Structure 1
Amino acid sequence: MIPRAGSLFSIAFREGPVRDYADAKTQEAWRYPPFFHALLEAGVAAPPSVFEAWFLTAAHDDAALERVRAALPAAARAAARAVQG
Structure 2
Amino acid sequence: MARFDIYANPDIETRKLAPYLLDVQSAHVGILPTRIVIPLRPVRHLAFFGKPSDLLPVLEVHGEECFLDTPAMSAVPLNALGECTGSL
**Fold shared per TM-score above 0.5:** no
Could you say which structure has the higher helix fraction? Answer: 1
Could you say which structure has the greater relative contact order, defined with CA pairs below 8 angstroms and 6 or more residues apart?
2
Structure 1 or 2: larger strand share? 2
